[in-house]
């Protein structure tokens, strides 16, 4: 059995190196490294895989560089709608929320749904009432807003289209016209358990009420100690249609494929067949990590305990 490990992602898409300065690229890489090392330290101190992915995704939600929580994109009504899910590979317990507008850290509420309710999935006002009942932080909707995201909304509306994450040239390292904005984490702990967590602010100028794959167990998030833990980032509709996260696990369990072989089949064969673009992060029951994507880039990183972090944006 390998060391405990955590992997994270912050979205996938096309590369736009000409629009990034060294300082801006440093900001993204530094954020990824800081977050993945925090998750690794959690595991080193005896934290569970669930604890590590919750911590990492909370930190991603709090960082306005990424499209989840603070810095979430705008809907076509100029509002924010956030989604999240989490799954425990040791029990197959899971929790999810969608369409929330006041929950500061959706991933924490998703975990509370898993641990403190008899249900799996709450939406909208019911999810927010549940968060309030369990003393989870609530905020005013403008907490999530940033000027950059608002400008992206105006550009998308001017073009009359829905954009993956956002649709305007910015100084971010991924081409923001083709970037899929989701964050996620997967982990393998010292107890041999796996966990996955995924969170998103959705798509710029999306129709209010649209839900993608991020909160859907089996599409954007899945974990099973028999096989692997997976978190997805990409065009949500295609990931739902392909049941991406569960499909990787099923290929391992029923077809006997390795983690890499299963991921490759889904990301490089099955998704492209329906014009699906994006990537996943995955870790198997031996602690092997694999981070494939069929787009030109993906914000990503991983770290085994007591080892340096690996972070990248572009293809190796």
Binding-site residues from annotation: 210-213, 233-236
Structure tokens given for 61: 């939600």
- Of 293, 89, 53, whose CA–CA distance to 197 is shortest? 53
Give the span between the Cα atoms of 279 and 297, in whole angstroms. 9
Describe the chain by its helix, strand, coil percentages, rounded to 5.
Answer: 35, 25, 40
Q: Give the chain's end-to-end CA distance (angstroms, integer).
A: 27
Q: How far is CA 308 from CA 41, 131, 135, in A?
A: 11, 36, 36
Is 90 exposed, middle or buried, given 0-12, 13-18 or 19+ CB atoms closer than 10 A?
A: middle
- Of 3, 22, 217, whose CA–CA distance to 110 is shortest? 217
- State the residue for tokens 């081409």: 175
Give the span between the Cα atoms of 176 and 141, in whole angstroms. 23
- In which order are the strands placed within the sheet that holds 221-223? 221-223, 228-234, 278-284, 289-290
The annotation places the binding site for substrate at 210-213, 233-236
Q: How far is CA 254 from CA 126, 200, 244, 247, in A?
A: 37, 30, 15, 10
Q: Given 182, 198, 204, 227, which residue is catalytic?
A: 182
3-class secondary structure, 204: strand
The secondary structure of residue 67, as a DSSP letter, is S
Q: Is 146 a catalytic residue?
A: no
Element spanning 107, H or E: helix 106-116
Report, as residue numbers or ranges, the catalytic residues.
182
């Amino acid at each position: 059995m390998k060391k405990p490990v955590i992997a994270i992602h912050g979205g996938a898409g096309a590369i736009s190196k000409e629009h990034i300065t060294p300082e801006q690229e440093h900001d993204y890489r530094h954020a990824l490294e800081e977050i993945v090392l925090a998750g690794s330290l959690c595991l080193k101190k005896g934290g569970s895989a669930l604890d590590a992915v919750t911590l990492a995704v909370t930190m991603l939600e709090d960082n306005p560089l990424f499209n989840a929580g603070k810095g979430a994109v705008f809907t076509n009504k100029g509002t924010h709608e956030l989604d999240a899910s989490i799954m425990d590979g040791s029990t197959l317990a899971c929790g999810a929320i969608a369409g929330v507008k006041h929950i500061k850290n959706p991933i924490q509420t998703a975990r509370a749904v898993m641990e403190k309710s008899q249900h799996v999935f709450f939406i909208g006002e019911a999810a927010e009432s549940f968060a309030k009942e369990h003393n989870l932080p609530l905020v005013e909707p403008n907490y999530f807003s940033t000027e950059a995201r608002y400008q992206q909304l105006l550009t998308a509306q001017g073009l009359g289209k829905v954009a993956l994450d956002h649709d305007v040239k910015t100084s971010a390292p991924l081409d923001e016209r083709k970037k899929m904005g989701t964050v996620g984490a997967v982990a393998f702990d010292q107890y041999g358990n796996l966990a996955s967590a995924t969170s998103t602010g959705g798509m710029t100028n999306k129709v209010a009420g649209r839900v993608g794959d991020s909160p859907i167990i089996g599409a954007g998030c899945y974990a099973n100690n028999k096989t692997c833990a997976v978190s997805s980032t990409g065009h949500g509709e295609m990931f739902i249609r392909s049941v991406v996260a569960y499909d990787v696990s099923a290929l391992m369990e029923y077809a006997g494929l390795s983690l890499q072989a299963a991921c490759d089949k889904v990301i490089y064969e099955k998704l492209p067949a329906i014009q699906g673009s994006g990537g996943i992060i995955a870790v198997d029951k031996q602690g092997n990590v694999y981070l494939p994507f069929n787009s030109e880039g993906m914000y990503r990183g991983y770290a085994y305990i007591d080892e340096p972090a690996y972070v990248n944006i572009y293809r190796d």
